[in-house]
Amino acid sequence: MKPMKKFAVLLSGCGVFDGAEIHEATLSLLAIAKQGGSYEIFAPDTNQHHVINHLTGDEMEETRNVLVESARIARGQIRDLKQFNPASFDGLLLPGGFGAAKNLSTWAFEGADASVLPGVEEAISGMVALKKPVGALCISPVILAKVLGKVDLTIGNDERTIDALDSLGANHVYTTHGEVVVDPDHMLVTTPCYMLDATIDQIADGANNVVDAMIKLME
C-alpha cells in the first residue's frame, strides 16, 4: 500500500473578493481527500489589504486578519504560515480568489511589478528546491510567475494578465474549463477555475485534475 500523500494548502482569507475563493478552497480539500491524500491548511498571520462587503461589493471600514479569516474555511484547524516546513509535505496547493492577488501578493494593484509576501515566496521556493510539486488555481499562478520567472502555466485566457505574465518571462498556455498545465521542470500544475466564467462543477473538475497531476509528479 502506497503511503498517503500529504498536501499543504495555503489560503489567503475567506471570500472571493478579499480572500480565498471558497469553492476553489473547499473543492481542493475534497479532491485531496477523494484521491487518498491528507492535508494541513496554512495562512499568513497578517492583515488583509481591505475588507469587501460580498453582497454589495463595497469596501468596508474594518480590519480583518488573513489567518483568522482563513480559519473559517479550515474549521479552526489551521497553522500560521511561519510554521510551514517544505520537508514535511509532498505538495503545496494555492487556491485562488482575490486574496492571492491582494494579501499573498500585490498583483491586483501592481501587476507584473507586484511584490510577494516573503513567507509565501519562501514556501514556494522551498518546495521547488526540494523538487516537490506546487499547484495553483485561478489567479494564484501569477504568484508562481513572480517568484520563479520562466515557467509554464495558465490563467485561462485573460489577455491583460497574460501580457503581464509574458513580461516576467513566463510561458502562458491558453486553457479552458478543467484543463491543467504541467511544468515538469519546476513541478508546477495550474488551472484557470474562476478566471473563466465557470460553474461549480467545472471548478471541481479543475481542482480534481490539479490534485491528480500533482500526485503523479510525486511518484
**Active-site annotation, residues:** 138
3-state class (DSSP) for residue 17 = coil
Separation between Cα atoms, residue 105 and residue 99, nearest integer Å? 8
Separation between Cα atoms, residue 137 and residue 129, nearest integer Å? 21
In whole angstroms, how far apart are CA 36 and each of 27, 40, 106, 189, 208? Answer: 14, 14, 34, 18, 12
Q: Contact at 8 Å (CB) between 195 and 95?
A: no
Give, as one character, the DSSP assignment of residue 196.
Answer: S
Q: Among candidates 84, 54, 70, 71, which has minimal Cα distance to 20?
A: 70
Angle at 183 between CA 79 and CA 191, to 5 degrees: 65
Q: Contact at 8 Å (CB) between 192 and 138?
A: yes
What angle separates helix 118-129 from helix 141-148, to the nearest 10 degrees?
A: 80
